[in-house]
């Protein structure tokens, strides 16, 4: 009986994968967007920056509406507690409690590291749908940690993207990225991202652990872990104001 059940389960998985493999690259990316992009969300997370001698762990809480408004407040450690970041469309503002000053980040500064991590301000700000930014090409089918994945090449169709080209490995059943490689226009590999601990949250699949590795820097990378995430929440408008930075 156990063998029969195993065969049936295997056949069902194969059938489901064969159905999903009939999807076009655009349909695959659309399903990814449906999981990863939301009208709004509230997230609490930790960021572990792996150093040569010791690791630094920062915790923060973020409120996000669409791709144009987000507000992040760092909760720990004490040195960074109270630091806040506000995104309004293409503008990014940072408040430092140590100096009691608010600074606007723009231009080449957007490529700088956030808190010494492997993430840049551009990485933190980019929250648009992939279909809005890229055209997709299916390269093939592979396996990552026992999961069937689609390998896709994405090329930018708009100019205002941090990475003109990227390669994504998409879980063929849950439609979330499990690995990404981010490239410069020249084709140089800039960053590698691996995603895991995929969980179902409010009817959508979402990776709760991400490791970012800046390929141009030494070190083991930066790990982001989602402590909690809630979609479709009521978020007051006052959060997305410059006045909220100093509250």
Of 109, 67, 117, 84, the closest CA to residue 239 belongs to: 84
Give the Cα separation of 150 and 52 in Å (integer). 35
103, 110 in Cβ contact below 8 A?
no
Q: Considering the entire predicted model, what is its pTM?
A: 0.87
Q: Which CATH number fits domain 24-246: 2.40.30.30, 2.60.260.20, 2.50.20.10, 3.20.190.10?
A: 2.50.20.10
Helices (H), the chain: 2-20, 25-36, 121-125, 130-133
pLDDT at residue 21, rounded to an integer: 57
Write the pLDDT tens digit of every residue in 35-93.
Answer: 999 999 999 999 999 887 889 999 999 999 998 999 999 999 999 999 999 999 889 99
Of 4, 8, 14, 21, the closest CA to residue 170 belongs to: 21
pLDDT at residue 125, rounded to an integer: 82
90, 107 in Cβ contact below 8 A?
no
For 45-66, the three-class secondary structure string (H helix, E strand, C coil) is EEEEEECCCCEEEEEEEEEEEC
- Residue 204's SS3 state is strand
144-160 as b/e: b if 16+ CB within 10 A: beebbbbbbbbebeeee
80-105 as b/e: b if 16+ CB within 10 A: bebbbbbbeeeebbbbeeeeeeeeeb
Give the Cα separation of 106 and 62 in Å (integer). 20
Per-residue DSSP letter, 113: B
Phi, psi of 10 (to 5 degrees): -65, -40
Give the Cα separation of 202 and 222 in Å (integer). 27
Token pair 């020249």 is found at 186
> What average pLDDT values come out for the chain (247 residues) when binned by 10 residues?
46 48 91 95 96 90 94 96 94 94 90 93 89 96 96 96 96 98 97 97 97 93 97 94 92
Of 144, 132, 202, the closest CA to residue 170 belongs to: 144
């Amino acid at each position: 009986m156990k063998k029969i059940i195993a065969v049936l389960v295997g056949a069902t998985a194969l059938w489901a994968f064969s159905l999903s493999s009939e999807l076009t690259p655009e349909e695959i990316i659309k399903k990814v967007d449906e999981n990863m992009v939301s009208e709004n969300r509230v997230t609490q997370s930790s960021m572990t920056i792996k150093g040569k001698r010791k690791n630094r762990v920062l915790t923060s809480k973020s409120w996000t509406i669409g791709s144009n408004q987000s507000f992040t407040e760092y909760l720990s450690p004490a040195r960074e507690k109270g630091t806040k970041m506000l995104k309004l469309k293409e503008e990014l503002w940072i408040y430092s409690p140590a100096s009691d000053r608010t600074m606007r980040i723009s231009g080449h500064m957007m490529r700088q590291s956030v808190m010494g991590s492997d993430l840049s301000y551009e990485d933190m700000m980019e929250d648009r749908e992939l279909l809005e930014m890229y055209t997709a090409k299916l390269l093939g089918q592979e396996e990552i940690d026992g999961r069937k994945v689609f390998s896709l090449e994405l090329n930018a169709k708009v100019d205002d993207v941090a990475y003109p080209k990227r390669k994504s490995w998409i879980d063929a059943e849950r439609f979330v990225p499990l690995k990404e490689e981010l490239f410069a226009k020249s084709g140089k590999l800039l960053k590698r991202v691996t995603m895991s601990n995929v969980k179902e949250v409010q009817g959508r699949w979402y990776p709760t652990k991400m490791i970012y590795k800046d390929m141009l820097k030494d070190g083991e990378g930066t790990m982001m872990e989602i402590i909690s995430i809630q979609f479709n929440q009521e978020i007051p408008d006052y959060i997305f104001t410059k006045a909220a930075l100093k509250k």
